[in-house]
Amino acid sequence: LLNGDSPVPTRSVGGVVQPVAPITAEQKLAKKNELKARGEAHHIWLSLILDKKMTKYELSNG
């Protein structure tokens, strides 16, 4: 595996092995941003649920 002689990355689609195109820096950044946004949305959703449960608890015990 010298001088870029590594095997071509492949994936199996419907039982057929196909070569995978190299990922560009822009594609990597887009994927990173997508995952980050998804994580932030999950965090906000979880915070809202916990706030709602805490409010319900405070009302029932206050």
Q: Which residues fall within 8 angstroms of residue 26, CB to CB, at 6 or more apart?
A: none
Give the residue-averaged pLDDT of 17-40: 88
Round to whole Å and give the CA distance between 26 and 29: 5
- CA angle (15 as vertex; 19, 28 as ends), nearest 5: 40
Instruction: Output the CA torsion 11→12→17→18 (10° steps).
Output: -50
Q: What is the pLDDT of residue 9?
A: 82
> Domain residue spans in the chain?
24-61
Summarize pLDDT for 41-61 with one digit per residue, the tens: 888 888 888 888 777 777 777
pTM above 0.85, yes or no: no
Which whole-number Å values give the CA distances from 38 to 2, 33, 46, 56, in the listed order?
Answer: 39, 9, 12, 27
